[in-house]
Amino acid sequence: MKHLGTRTALAISGAILAGIGNWIMAAPTVFLATSEVIVENDAGLLSEVTAPSGLLVMVGAFMIFSAIKVRLASLGLAAGALVYGSYGFSRLVSQYLHGTPSDQLVTVMWFELAVAALLLALSPRVQSTPPIKQLNAFYQQVTQ
């Protein structure tokens, strides 16, 4: 099987994103409590916490799809690196601005940054196809 390491990384990191997104969407207070963050039942705050969960689910699903359709792998790797990297970087900035959070959140930050670095490192290993052709290929797969 071609690009087995890349496909595996895409599938696993995509499943993690989709799983976390679904968990946040379904039970945000329970999810946050695992990181020692306690949130009261404030509908506005829960809406703000839940809002990015759709992005996590969609990017995770796309990463899994791109693990199956290897010609989309570079887009999946880029999308995953962007999401994981932006979350990790944001946590790093927040730690600097607001102080150190729980140990679990610090661990999550390093995990997110490491996954982003891994996905970026795997990007050159995939045969590069111009992004517009990758988007066209994705559109054709979805509409068939």
Each residue of 31-52: pLDDT tens digit? 988 888 888 888 888 899 899 9
In single-letter form, the type of residue at position 57 comes to V
Rounded CA gap, 113 and 80, in Å?
11
Rounded CA gap, 49 and 77, in Å?
25
Each residue of 53-103: pLDDT tens digit? 999 999 999 999 999 988 888 899 999 999 999 999 999 999 999 999 989
In single-letter form, the type of residue at position 81 comes to A
Each residue of 4-18: pLDDT tens digit? 889 999 999 999 999
Of residues 29 and 131, the one with the higher pLDDT is: 29
Q: How far is CA 89 from CA 11, 22, 40, 68, 131, in A?
A: 23, 22, 27, 29, 25
Angle at 107 between CA 102 and CA 113, to 5 degrees: 130
From the list 143, 130, 7, 1, the residue with the least C-alpha distance to 69 is 7
Q: What is the pTM of this model?
A: 0.82
Domain range summary for the chain, segments of one domain joined by +? 4-143
Residue 1 is predicted with a pLDDT of 43
Residue 130 is predicted with a pLDDT of 63
Each residue of 91-142: pLDDT tens digit? 999 999 999 998 999 999 999 999 999 999 998 766 556 666 767 777 777 7
Rounded CA gap, 115 and 19, in Å?
16
